[in-house]
């Protein structure tokens, strides 16, 4: 067994990484080292991914911001005060303790930010870290830089998946690629294979929707887990939307000839597969991605998550049609709704099963990093996927006695107590009646019925008045 793994276990047992000053020092060193090696890191990312320069720089900046935020959240004075609360006969209801060891299996998508988004809060919670390495260039460069920054006893890199027995200490695994192993211990699993759907209603701002869809799907090589896998567009505006998407796609061409060559290889391979299948019509294969009009829902593009720069557009007849189609794919990682009517957005978001819904927007910050872990609310600020509480355990400490506890303690030994009878009567008292207001809010479809009914009634009244007028005019004597 590697000595460094044994050192990490010893450090976790000793709680070496839990001191607030130590945590701040480690995060500061990590930040400084990432800044000192900016060129090497960005060159490695660019070489591995072929991302545009702006995308590489944004990923780098988001990673630094994540470290800085975790650094700023640690207050040694407050931590020391809370640690000795019981010594002052005070309660510490929010006290937490580190898990011990956090095992990170990072995704290859935006590797730097994905790794740091878990690493920084895990360090801030006072844990030791084990990272499983891949063979790409970026991980080797980044992990080597991080190894030089952090204390040797709290950070270890391995090329294989360690068993629970090998770790031999309380730990949590962060699985960013979404592959869960039930035989292993506690896991925080990203929903990496969950699909993302966008719904474009006929009243939507088509230009804004097209720009958002193209930006999400064609940025970062089309590999973001939050890029839309399927775009459902109302048939009335599908042609205009496809035109807008095609125009927007030109702006997302790769920066360099080498990157363009790589993008073309993937794009043409996918386009050939689409043509051979004959279930989609290729609208455009220019720029940095593929745009297709889905004619048959049996196409392979709708059977699994899309991991390339490809926008698949399918025409829908109504909102209910969109809901039925989306529901066939199970629960979604995200839903994007584009419509000018808030009531319509509410209706669609309510009936499409999804972890999160965004109305008339696709936030750029969520395109970086791994898919959000299951069961956790997506934090949009700085594209966060994790926080320190996920890497710590609640360990409250209480020194005071509650009034209810003291009362119950006295009643426990006195069955005939008057206070006990009063407590029983209070507990058995009926709950208040549920009162509903007589009025109700007019829903989306009720509004449509009322508007349609009003138009029909207006037409009938107008026709009746005109008919009566001419009837009287031609029937009156003397005419």
- Chain mean pLDDT for the chain: 87
Give the rounded percent of residues in the chain with a pLDDT score beyond 70. Answer: 88
Closest CA to 201 of 243, 238, 248, 157: 238
Which residues are CB-contacts of 388 (< 8 A; sequence separation ≥ 6)? 70, 73, 121, 122, 124, 125
pLDDT beyond 70 at 476: no
Average of per-residue pLDDT across 214-236: 95
Instruction: Say if strands 280-284 and 290-294 run parallel, antiparallel, or are unpaired.
Output: antiparallel
Q: Give the neighbor-by-neighbor strand order of the sheet with 187-189.
A: 155-158, 128-132, 101-105, 171-175, 187-189
Q: Which two tokens stand for residue 416?
A: 């005939």
Distances (CA, A) of 116 to 166, 357, 380: 24, 26, 16
pLDDT attached to residue 3: 47
Backbone φ and ψ of 230, nearest 5° = -140, 135
- Look at residues 30, 258, 55 and name the one whose alpha carbon lies nearest to residue 145: 30
Q: What percent of the chain has pLDDT over 90?
A: 59
Would you state the pLDDT for residue 255? 57
User: Domains plus CATH for the chain?
Assistant: 3-192+385-394 (3.40.605.10), 196-369 (3.40.309.10)
Count, residues in the chain? 479
pLDDT over threshold 90, residue 179: no
Mean pLDDT computed over 303-329? 91
Residue 260 has pLDDT above 60, yes or no: no
Segment 132-151 shows an average pLDDT of 85
φ, ψ dihedrals at 332, nearest 5°: -100, 155
pLDDT in the model for residue 256? 53
- pTM to 2 decimals? 0.85
Report yes or no: 164 and 92 within 8 Å, Cβ to Cβ.
no
| Interval 65-119: pLDDT, tens | 999 999 999 999 999 999 899 999 999 999 999 999 999 999 999 999 999 999 9
pLDDT at 479 over 70: no
- What is the per-residue pLDDT across 112-141, written as a single tens digit (0 to 9) for each? 999 999 999 999 999 999 998 766 667 889
Q: What is the pLDDT of residues 348-386, one digit of tens each?
A: 999 999 999 999 999 999 999 999 998 788 766 656 789
- Reported as a single tens digit per residue, the pLDDT across 440-474 is 556 655 666 767 777 778 887 888 877 777 777 67
What pLDDT does 323 receive?
A: 95
CA–CA dist 271, 269 (Å, integer)? 5
Instruction: Please classify residue 11 by burial: count the beta carbons closer than 10 Å to its beta carbon, then call 0-12 exposed, 13-18 middle and 19+ buried.
Output: buried
């Amino acid at each position: 067994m590697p000595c460094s793994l044994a050192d990490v276990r010893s450090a976790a047992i000793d709680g070496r990484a839990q001191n607030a000053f130590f945590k701040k020092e480690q995060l500061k060193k990590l930040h400084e080292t990432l800044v000192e090696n900016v060129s090497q890191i960005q060159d490695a990312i660019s070489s591995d991914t072929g991302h545009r320069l702006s995308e590489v720089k944004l990923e780098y900046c988001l990673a630094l911001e994540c470290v800085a935020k975790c650094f700023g959240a640690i207050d040694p004075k407050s931590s020391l005060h809370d640690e000795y609360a019981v010594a002052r006969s005070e309660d510490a209801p929010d006290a937490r303790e580190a898990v011990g060891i956090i095992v990170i299996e990072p995704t290859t998508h935006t590797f730097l930010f994905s790794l740091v988004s878990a690493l920084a809060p895990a360090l801030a919670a006072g844990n030791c870290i084990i990272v499983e390495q891949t063979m790409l260039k970026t991980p080797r460069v980044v992990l080597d830089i991080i190894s030089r920054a952090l204390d040797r006893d709290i950070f270890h890199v391995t090329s294989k998946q360690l068993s629970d027995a090998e770790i031999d200490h309380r730990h949590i695994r962060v699985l960013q690629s979404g592959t869960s192993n039930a035989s292993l211990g506690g896991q925080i699993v990203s929903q990496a294979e969950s699909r993302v759907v966008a719904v474009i209603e006929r009243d939507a701002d088509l230009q804004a929707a097209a720009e958002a869809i193209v930006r999400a799907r064609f940025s970062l090589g089309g590999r973001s887990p939050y890029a839309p896998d399927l775009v459902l567009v109302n048939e009335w505006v599908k042609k205009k939307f496809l035109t807008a998407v095609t125009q927007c796609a030109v702006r997302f061409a790769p920066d360099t000839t080498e990157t363009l060559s790589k993008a073309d290889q993937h794009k043409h391979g996918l386009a050939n597969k689409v043509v051979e299948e004959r279930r989609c019509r290729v609208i455009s294969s220019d720029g940095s991605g593929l745009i297709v009009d889905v004619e048959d829902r049996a196409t392979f593009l709708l059977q699994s998550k899309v991991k390339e720069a490809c926008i698949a557009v399918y025409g829908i007849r109504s909102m209910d049609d969109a809901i039925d189609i989306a529901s066939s794919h199970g629960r979604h990682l995200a839903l994007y709704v584009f419509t000018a009517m808030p009531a319509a957005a509410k209706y669609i978001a309510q009936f499409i099963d999804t972890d999160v819904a965004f109305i008339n927007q696709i936030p750029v910050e969520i395109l970086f990093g791994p898919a959000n872990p299951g069961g956790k609310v997506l934090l949009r600020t700085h594209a966060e996927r994790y926080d320190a509480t996920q890497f710590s355990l609640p360990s409250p400490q209480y020194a005071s006695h509650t009034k209810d506890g003291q009362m119950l303690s006295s009643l426990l030994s006195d069955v005939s107590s008057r206070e006990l009878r009063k407590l029983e009567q209070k507990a058995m008292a009926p709950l208040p009646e549920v009162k509903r207001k007589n009025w109700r809010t007019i829903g989306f479809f009720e509004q449509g019925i009322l508007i349609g009914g009003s138009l029909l009634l207006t037409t009938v009244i107008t026709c009746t008045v005109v008919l009566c007028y001419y009837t009287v005019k031609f029937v009156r004597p003397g005419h």
